[in-house]
Amino acid sequence: MDAPLSDTDTGDRLERPLGEICDIQAGPSGRGTSSQEFSDRGTPLVRPLNIVELRVSEHGLVHVPEENAAQLGNRYRLLANDIVTVRTGTLGRFALVEQGQQGWLMSGQLLRLRPSAEVDPNYLVHYLTLPRLRVWLDAHTSGSTIPSITRKTMESLPVLLPPLHVQRDIGERLALLDTRIRLQSEVLQTTRKLRASLAELLFAEHPLSPDDSARP
């Protein structure tokens, strides 16, 4: 049996296995979601590359035909506040599904965590990215070439669970900081593009002569 991840358990902060507080589902094993069946239209399919900074990114998003999605049924469809994570490859990445992404499908390389009513999704997704959880994941992976983790192993992952109101407070504060970080990143990217465009314009208006370029 694994040692607890924390020694701070009290009467209101209990360590629980992830499988007791979440329904965990593995993605389909290629059935109806192979790359040969990708389409420009249909149902969006979330893959590992779409898990970026705790969010499901639409960059590189692919679709599967509606008939394939219908054959898979609802088992592999995502709901708002689900958490998706990679189960093969670069482990330890998590993303929270947003309202507008409800009904999308997950690929076979992912696991879906559906928190119960006693768990705040924002709290859980941030908790799962703590460094000590990454250490736990690394210690429980299988596969010598491509790291992987099974649904059963993920169910045993220990989660420190305070009361729901505490979870919500923690989750809201960290989500607010995430929003600020994303906004600052967007401003930085825009500033870099502006700087590059301005440099091109300035050098076009004031081209360097051969003599200027030879000066130290």
Residues contacting 23, CB < 8 A, separation 6+: 113, 114, 116
pLDDT at 23: 97
pLDDT in tens, 135-169: 999 999 987 788 999 999 999 999 999 999 999 99
Cα angle: 193, vertex 199, 202; to 5 degrees: 140
In angstroms, the CA 57 to CA 100 distance is: 12
Q: How confident is the model at residue 8 (pLDDT cuts 50, 70, 90)?
A: very low
Average pLDDT of the residues of the chain = 87
pLDDT at 181: 78
Cβ-contact 52, 95 below 8 angstroms: yes
In angstroms, the CA 38 to CA 70 distance is: 15
Q: Is the pLDDT of residue 1 over 50?
A: no
pLDDT at 209: 63
Cβ-contact 132, 5 below 8 angstroms: yes
CA neighbours within 13 Å on the CB side: how many for 213? 6
Span 179-190, mean pLDDT? 77
The 3-state secondary structure of 86-113, one letter per residue: ECECCCCCEEECCHHHCCCEECCCEEEE
Q: How confident is the model at residue 11 (pLDDT cuts 50, 70, 90)?
A: low
pLDDT in tens, 91-127: 999 999 999 999 999 999 999 999 999 999 999 999 9
Task: Name the pairing type of β-strands 43-46 and 51-52.
Answer: unpaired
Helix (H, G, I), strand (E, B) or coil at 21: helix
The residue type of 39 is S
Domains of the chain: 16-160 (3.90.220.20)
Q: With a threshold of 0.95, does the pTM exceed it? A: no
Q: Which helix (H) or strand (E) holds 26?
A: strand 22-26
